[in-house]
């Protein structure tokens, strides 16, 4: 089971929400749950890409702090991104537990807003936590408060594990009436650029003509050769930067634009095999263009930054994707 925590506060040391999610994470990890946390204030420049991480989660925790009014801008921006770019089919199978602590007023309204937003997105609700905490020191030594947090974590685990059903809600009906967004296989940056040109018929017609002209040009230049390049392209770079991780096994399939066959990387502890071709199954499937691959090879970008910035698409386990930057240390060896 995987549970992801999306924290929308500012990361202050005395933030009561941090205490609550730390406690819940301890309990969930004791139940052998894989827990991953995303601090939105650290990822504020790539919040629009975070809904892609929902694909790997069985349940999520949306946690924020009411410091003066409402759930805060980071959390609202994340919810907006889920509405515009999230996979609605995956969200419909994902449970969400809201956690809202307040240092002023409005924790109940904040919790209700998060629950309503998730249900309008089509997601499944879990019982959440809210409270007014003027000073985080009240948690210390207070067994009753800690038991409440622990019980909520256990209830969330039980709800997801047993896939408990919930009665239909009216705000889900609202989604069917007002939702006009469609899932498109584009990054937020690409969809924003297209919005400026999609209604311009002359621009679209001109682009089609340019594409046809370029296709003919490349066909004449390449002759019978394709755009694959050599079979060893990029392999030597991966071999020279390989850093074995004991006990780690994974299969990566990297499809690079212009190549007919994907680059397959099979990692098995201290050994690593590379080839262009097919593979029966893989843990992570990646798609990118040559420019992005060159940026990674020459240490101008990491795999994780490419994904978070929308320059790379992926399917599979997000944690295994992050390990790519550890087993192939392009950045470290260049420095």
Write out pLDDT tens, residues 307-317.
888 889 998 88
What's 38's DSSP letter?
E
Write out pLDDT tens, residues 160-178.
999 888 777 776 665 555 5
CATH for 235-334 (3.40.47.10, 3.30.1050.10, 3.40.50.1370, 3.60.15.10) = 3.30.1050.10
Q: Residue ranges of the domains in the chain?
A: 2-178, 188-222, 235-334
What is the mean predicted confidence (pLDDT) over 177-191?
54
Which pLDDT score, from 0 to 100, does residue 15 have?
A: 93
What is the dihedral angle through the alpha carbons of 269, 318, 279, 297, rounded to the nearest 10 degrees?
A: -70
User: From residue 93, how far is each of 58, 158, 324 by CA, in Å?
Assistant: 8, 15, 28
* Domain 2-178, CATH class in plain words: alpha beta
**DSSP H or E segment with residue 46:** none
Per-residue pLDDT band at 141 (split at 50, 70, 90): confident
What's 50's DSSP letter?
G
Write out pLDDT tens, residues 52-105.
999 999 999 999 999 998 999 999 999 999 999 889 889 999 999 999 999 989
Dist CA 206 CA 192 (whole Å): 20
Place of tokens 């910035």: 309
Which pLDDT score, from 0 to 100, does residue 304 have?
A: 87
Which pLDDT score, from 0 to 100, does residue 199 have?
A: 47
Higher local confidence (pLDDT), 211 or 112: 112
Give the number of C-alpha atoms closer than 13 A to the C-alpha of residue 304, restricted to the C-beta side: 16
What's 328's DSSP letter?
B
What is the mean predicted confidence (pLDDT) over 288-301?
90
What is the mean predicted confidence (pLDDT) over 257-280?
90
- Taking the model in full, what pTM does it have? 0.55
**DSSP H or E segment with residue 132:** strand 129-132
Is pLDDT of 205 > 60?
yes
Dist CA 137 CA 103 (whole Å): 13
Which of 79, 72, 56 shows the shortest CA–CA distance to 8?
Answer: 72
DSSP-derived secondary structure for 141-157? T-HHHHHHHHHHHHHHH
């Amino acid at each position: 089971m995987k549970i992801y925590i999306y924290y929308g506060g500012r990361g202050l040391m005395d933030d009561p929400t941090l205490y609550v999610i730390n406690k819940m994470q301890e309990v969930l990890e004791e139940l052998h749950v894989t827990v991953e946390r995303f601090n939105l204030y650290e990822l504020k420049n790539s919040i629009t890409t975070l809904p892609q991480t929902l694909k790997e989660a069985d349940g999520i925790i949306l946690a924020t702090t009411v410091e003066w009014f409402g759930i805060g801008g980071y959390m609202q921006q994340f919810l907006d991104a889920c509405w515009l770019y999230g996979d609605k089919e995956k969200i419909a199978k994902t449970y969400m537990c809201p956690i809202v602590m307040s240092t002023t007023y409005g924790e109940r309204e904040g919790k209700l807003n998060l629950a309503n937003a998730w249900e309008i997105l089509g997601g499944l609700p879990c019982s959440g936590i809210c409270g007014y905490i003027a000073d985080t020191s009240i948690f210390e030594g207070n067994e009753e408060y800690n038991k409440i947090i622990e019980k909520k974590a256990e209830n969330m685990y039980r709800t997801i594990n047993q896939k408990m059903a919930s009665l239909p809600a009216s705000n889900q009906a609202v989604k069917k009436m007002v939702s006009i967004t469609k899932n498109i296989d584009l990054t937020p940056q690409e969809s924003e650029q297209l919005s400026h040109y999609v209604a311009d018929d002359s621009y679209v017609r001109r682009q089609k003509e340019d594409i046809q002209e370029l296709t003919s040009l490349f066909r004449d230049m390449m002759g019978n050769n394709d755009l694959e390049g050599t079979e060893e392209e990029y392999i030597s770079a991966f071999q020279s930067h390989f850093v074995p991780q004991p006990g780690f096994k994974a299969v990566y399939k990297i499809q690079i634009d212009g190549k007919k066959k994907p680059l397959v990387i099979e990692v098995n502890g201290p050994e690593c095999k590379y080839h262009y071709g097919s593979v029966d199954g893989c843990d992570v499937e990646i798609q990118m263009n040559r420019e992005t691959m060159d940026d990674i090879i020459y240490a101008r970008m990491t795999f994780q930054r490419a994904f978070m910035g929308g320059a790379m698409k992926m399917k599979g386990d997000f944690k295994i994707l992050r390990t790519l930057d550890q087993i192939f240390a392009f950045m470290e060896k260049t420095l």
